[in-house]
Amino acid sequence: MEEIADQTRLIRRPEYRLFQTSDLDEARSRVSQVYCDHRLSSRSGKVDAFLYHMPFRGISFNYMQYGTESCIEPGYLKDFYLIQLPLQGRAHIESGGQVIESDPSRASVINPSAFTKMVWSHDCRQFTVQITKDRLERIAASCLGMPVQGALVFDTAMENGNAQHASWWRHLLSFICEYSQECSFYRNTEILETELDNIIRALLYSLNHNYTAPLLNDTQTVRPRHVRLAMDYIHGHISENLSMETLVELTGVSERRLYEGFRQFQNISPMRYVQQTRLQAVRSALQTCRDTSVTQIATEYGFTQLGRFAALYRQVYGELPSETVARR
């Protein structure tokens, strides 16, 4: 992993450094601002901690250490996935009932739904990739051709000797290298967002998870361009006012051809697909957003008739929206 260690110099720039401190409470507080609230302890009661943070929309790249043997207990990450690769040192990780020893030859993947605690060695320095649950599930749904039903769960261990895993790291490093150039084409927002989506898409095809089988099987069926265009647009604009007219104008085909394409390849009409995707987005938000009401979330995704929404939600998920909220 010398190449990854070398490329982290592009993140270790002054503009990306969030903090450096020997105060344990300050380290915990500052790290919590990037990740989530957590418990942090060390044998000495002190740390030599720093964090470099390269943020994008729904994904970030980070480089950090605590500088002393440290116990970190975030519990449930809830709304993001976290890939951690020690560039030196090691980390003992217990997550979702699995235990792995992570070092420069083995990264870890922490799922939002898995209770997690870790012990980092005194010399542990980690390169991490943080991806929000919303962005990853949006890309997964686009790849699958249907909304993600239930949690998407990765295997916890990511072996760097695996050819597919190594390919993903190379892809990621090439992006960081190019983005760091002064006149990079990634300064164009559309190109940047497309590439970040591709990084997540490549992750889904490279790592093993509970949607691997349907995802790989789905590659045997090649959807027409107009169907793929419509699906990608739906997932990227799900909170907007989507109509059949909008999709027809976007794809450049007739309403009938678009309808028939969805029926043939998705076994569903375009607007029914919009409805299913919105329902999944609402369910994901209800499971993770603690400070937002059911009404606010439903309205945000276009469900203005709340009685009809609640009935439809119950029909699909077997429970009322309020029952989903109660189980958070």
Give the three-class secondary structure for 256. helix
Range(s) of the domain holding residue 269: 225-326
Our count of domains for the chain comes to 2
The CATH number of the domain where 290 resides is what? 1.10.10.60
Residue 211 located in a structural domain? no
pLDDT band at 218 (very low <50, low <70, confident <90, very high): low
Residue 201 located in a structural domain? no
The CATH number of the domain where 50 resides is what? 2.60.120.10
- Among 108, 132, 156, the domain boundary falls at 132
Residue 179 located in a structural domain? no
In the prediction, which pLDDT does 144 show? 84
Residue 80 located in a structural domain? yes
Nearest alpha carbon to residue 74 among 107, 109, 42, 28: 28
Same domain, 9 and 116: yes
- Over residues 10-32, the pLDDT tens digits come to 999 999 999 999 999 999 999 99
For the chain, the C-alpha Rg in angstroms (whole number) is 21
The C-alpha atoms of residue 269 and residue 252 are separated, in whole angstroms, by 17
Nearest alpha carbon to residue 204 among 136, 282, 149, 304: 136
Residue 240 located in a structural domain? yes
CA dihedral 297, 32, 20, 105 (to 10 degrees): -100
- Among 132, 147, 172, the domain boundary falls at 132
Same domain, 117 and 16: yes
Same domain, 124 and 9: yes
- Among 77, 98, 132, the domain boundary falls at 132
Residue 160 located in a structural domain? no
Residue 16 located in a structural domain? yes
Cβ contacts of 118 within 8 Å, gap of 6 or more: 71, 72, 73, 91, 92, 93, 94
Which residues share a beta bridge with 157? 108
- Over residues 108-141, the pLDDT tens digits come to 999 998 999 999 999 999 999 999 998 999 899 8
Residue 26 located in a structural domain? yes
Please state the pTM of the whole predicted model: 0.72
